[in-house]
Every structure is written in C-alpha cells, then in structure tokens.
Amino acid sequence: MQSRPAVIAAVSGGSDSTALLLLLKLFLDHAAPSTRLHAVTVDHGLRPEAAAEAQAVARFSAERGIDHRIMTWSGPKPGTGLAAAAREARYDLLARAARDAGTDVILTAHTADDQAETVLMRRRRGEGPGLAGMAPETLFDGSVWILRPLLGIRRETLRTFLRDEAVGWVDDPSNTDRRSERVRARLELAGPPQVSGAAAIDGLLTLARQGATRRRHLGRDAADLIRRHVRKAGPGLMRIDAALFRPAIDDAAVHTLRALLAVVGGTPHLPDEGRVRALCLRLAAPPCRATLSRALVAARRDGVWLCREERGLPEPQPARDGLIWDGRFRISATAGAAAAVIAPASAGGRQVENDDGVPASLARTAKAGLPIISSGGSPEIGHVEQRGVSGSTQAAPAGWTATCVLAPWARFLPCFDLDLAQALADAVGAPPVPVAPSAGHNVTPA
C-alpha cells in the first residue's frame, strides 16, 4: 500500500477487529511510524449494550496509545431491511471518519471464514460464472478505499493470537441469531469436520480466488471492447459498433452489454445474463428495438444506440447535495447554493436541438432522460449533464453540478471490476476511477 498520512481501523470490539487493531499497531509502529492509526467504532443504537462495548474499545485503544472515535447512527431506523440499512449507515459513518482524519483508507477485519460464508451464500443465491467473494480492496462512494487485509486468515488464528496476548473481546449476540443468512452459513460451515469444516472452507476459498480471477479477466476483456467499440454520441446517448455483436457473441460481449445497460439505465444490478445474451443475438440482426434494465437499445444499420428509456423517470423533486438522481447522476451543491428543483428534461416539455449524425428520435429520448436543475421557479432552467464535459447545454444554477455515476458501482466498486469501471467512466463521461492503494505493487492481494 502506498503510504498514507492516516488510516482508519473499523473496530467493533469482536475478536477479528480487535486483532486487526493490534496487528495494525504493530505493523505501523515498525514499518510506517508516521502513519496515524485511528480506531473507529460505530454504535448503531440497536442493542442496549452497544454503547458500553464501544466504550470498552475506547479504553483498550487508549491503553495502547491509539486514537479512537465512536460514531453513532442517529437517523431513523427502517422497519424492514434493518441489517442492510445498518450496514449502509456504518460505511457512511466510517467514510466520514476517514475524511475527517484526512485519509481515504478504511481497514476492516473480514476473515477467511467471512469470505467462505460469503461465497456459500452467493452460490446459494444462484450467482453464476462471475461469482467471486469479497474483494481485498473496494472503492466506496467513489472516494474511500475499504481494505480487507485479513481475508486470507482464519478467525481461529486471530483468536489464538489474542489469547497469547491476553486480550479479550466481545461476542456480539447477533452473530448467533439464526434469522441471519450469514449466521446460518457460519453454523453450517462449523459442522462436523468430516461433513464440512476446514475442507469445505478451503473449497469455498478456492472458488473465491478462481471467481476473482475470472471476474478480473472478464472485466479486462469487456473494458477492451468498450474502448474499441463504444462511444458517447451525444447528451445521454451511447453508440456501440455493430462489430461488438458479430461474428460470435462471446462472454465478454455479453458482459459489456450488461454493464452498459445497467449504467445507462441507472440500475444497481446488472441485468440477467440469459436475457442479455438473447438480446445480443437480436441486436446482431438489425433492425431491433428493445428496453431492458430501464434502457432503450436500438439496432439500426448505422449501429446500436443506447439511452435511458423515457418511462419511469423520477418526478420533479427538491435538489439536494449528495442526491443520487435516477441512479445516474450525483448532485452536488456548494455552500450557499440557492434552493433548486431537479426534474427530467422531459418534464419541462422542452424542445431539443438535434445533433449531427444522430437519429433524431433517439437524441430526443436521450435528452429527455437528463436532469434539469432549476432555481427560484425560473423557467430559465439549467440543463446539466456533467461537469466539464462538452455536450452539456446550459449551465446549472450557480453552485449546482450533476456528475455521472456508474450505478452498479456507485457505492461499492470491488477491485476485480476496476478496469471495466474505468472504461465505462471514460465512455459515459464519469470522473476517472482513483488508483487503488495496491497499484504498482507486484503482489496482488489475496
């Protein structure tokens, strides 16, 4: 990892993260003494004991001379999907702690056991050939890296280390709650060794490694296809060379179209592989027009065109800093920006000019799906596509910008998909993907 002025260790007080904290302290004292180590504990406010547990981590950190901060999830708690919401909130709080500490690195204590559970769960959910486990490096919210340095280490090894150091830890009761899919996977893997146990875990870890390699290769091939065959043809409109779909439709071409559909449609998941494979076949024999994943795709003699379909665009709403609009644009406001409304261009009934060489109806549909930010009820509204990219028509009201985001990777971008994400970002005009902390090292993380 390139040296950082500071790093954040995410410490719940359980065995894994307590071991992470101690190991990091030892490592940094020895190898990078100028790097500041900050431990952060998130109190989700969901269990009465959580506050005392966070205080225990604070005391432990103080004894070791480590800076420690407690971050509390104070927002409203949803009635359903509480675990997922808590996870989102946890990463938001950890990212905020990282920014406050002037770093872009958060380390978590996910272990080989967590990795095996993840692969087991994903396999059960029917994830196909791209199945991979957790990534050793993941870009969060486009700006902060989550590193998982213990992914190759078994939990029991960490506990032995803690016992040798005479350090205790907290056992979170939710880790034994059988309603959780992860807990059920953990119990299954902890079964009798002759049935599951170590052999099963090793098998799942091998699958994780193979899946990561496959995903990386597929992503590289798709990135190459995007660079050669995909370009932005106008505001909100992409053009794909028909050559992508001929003569044979291979896995990389299918993966490319899945990624493009999700990005152009603003959906968090790639569309179903089988459906996209079938669509590729139809696109190879124009004319063809279809919608999938909220995107409109039209194969004509002059190429294949792709834009957001006009159905299901967001209703006009107050613009706010940090809003992800339609899964496709991150809205930002500088301090003091006047209150504004954001709406799809189609809602304004605005005429659009045609661009040379672009089919008029597609140019219209594409522009209708772009956001318009207006302030003070003025009809002179600013049509923003993205910062600093030609093709934007007028400026948004002062202080407001809309930046393209890649919907499937807007929150979590695993390192296996970095090449693909960079090629997509270049193609659609999203900001460049930051360089991974391990870049330039000759050892690929586990």
Ligand X SMILES: Nc1ncnc2c1ncn2[C@@H]1O[C@H](COP(=O)(O)OP(=O)(O)OP(=O)(O)O)[C@@H](O)[C@H]1O
When asked if residue 17 is in the footprint of ligand X (CB under 6 A), the reply is: yes
Q: How many residues bind ligand X (CB under 6 A)?
A: 15
Tokens linked to 83: 């675990």
| C-alpha torsion angle, residues 147, 151, 154, 155 (rounded to 10) | 40
Among residues 87, 99, 228, 269, which is the contact residue for ligand X, using CB under 6 A?
87
333 CB burial (10 A radius; 0-12, 13-18, 19+): buried
Interaction of residue 137 with ligand X, rule CB under 6 A: no
> Taking the complex as a whole, how short is the minimal distance between the CB of residue 415 and ligand X, in angstroms?
15
In the complex, the smallest distance separating the C-beta of residue 364 from ligand X, rounded to whole angstroms, is: 42
| Cβ nearer to ligand X, comparing 16 with 326 | 16
DSSP 290: E
**Is residue 15 at the binding interface for ligand X, with CB under 6 A as the rule?**
no
Q: Which of residues 270-289 bind ligand X (CB under 6 A)?
A: none
Q: Is 14 annotated as a binding residue?
A: yes
Token pair in block for residue 227:
């660079």
Helix pair angle (112-124, 197-229), 10° resolution: 70
Question: One-letter amino acid identity for 5?
Answer: P
What residue has token string 């004894």?
63
CB of 276 vs ligand X, minimal distance in Å: 27
CA–CA distance, 291 with 260 (Å, rounded to integer): 13
Give the C-alpha separation, 418 to 209, whole Å.
17
Least CB distance to ligand X at residue 80 (A)? 17
Helix (H, G, I), strand (E, B) or coil at 178: coil
Q: According to the binding rule CB under 6 A, does residue 109 interact with ligand X?
A: yes
Question: Does 374 appear as a known binding residue?
Answer: no
Closest CA to 369 of 246, 248, 264: 264
Q: Are 310 and 346 in contact (CB under 8 A)?
A: yes
18 binds ligand X (CB under 6 A): no
10 lies in the binding site for ligand X (CB under 6 A): yes
Helix axis angle, 181-189 to 197-229, nearest 10°: 130
The contact pattern for ligand X, residues 191-230, with x = CB under 6 A and - = no contact, is ----------------------------------------
86 versus 296: smaller Cβ distance to ligand X: 86
Residue 17 is labelled as binding a ligand: yes
With tokens 């196909």, the residue in question is 128
106: amino acid identity, one letter = I
Among 1, 8, 15, 16, binds ligand X (CB under 6 A): 16
Nearest-angstrom CA–CA distance, 129 and 136:
19
Q: Which helix (H) or strand (E) holds 106?
A: strand 105-107
81 is in an annotated binding site: no
225 by Cβ neighbours in 10 Å (0-12 / 13-18 / 19+) ranks as buried
Nearer to ligand X, 182 or 231 (CB): 182
Beta bridge partners of 375: 340
Cβ atoms < 10 Å from Cβ of 347? 16
Phi, psi for 360 (deg, rounded to 5)? -60, -45
Establish if 411 lies at the interface with ligand X (CB under 6 A). no
List the x/- string, 42-61, binding to ligand X by CB under 6 A: x-------------------
Interacting span for ligand X (CB under 6 A) from 5-13, 121-129, 336-344, 420-428 = 5-13
Considering the complex, what minimum distance in angstroms separates the CB of residue 257 from ligand X? 29
Residue 162 CB, shortest distance to ligand X, in Å, is: 13
The nearer residue to ligand X, 211 or 234, going by C-beta atoms, is 211
Burial of 203 (0-12, 13-18, 19+ CB in 10 A): middle
Binding test (CB under 6 A) with ligand X, winner from 15, 41, 365, 401: 41
Q: Decide: is 101 part of the binding site for ligand X (CB under 6 A).
A: no
Contact 137, 438 (CB under 8 A): yes
List binders of ligand X among 164-193 (CB under 6 A): 182
12 binds ligand X (CB under 6 A): yes
Residue 12 among known ligand-binding residues: yes
251 carries a ligand binding annotation: no
Binding-site residue positions? 12-17
Binding-site residue positions for ATP? 12-17
Q: Give the residues lining the site for ligand X (CB under 6 A).
A: 10-12, 16-17, 40-42, 87, 90, 108-110, 114, 182
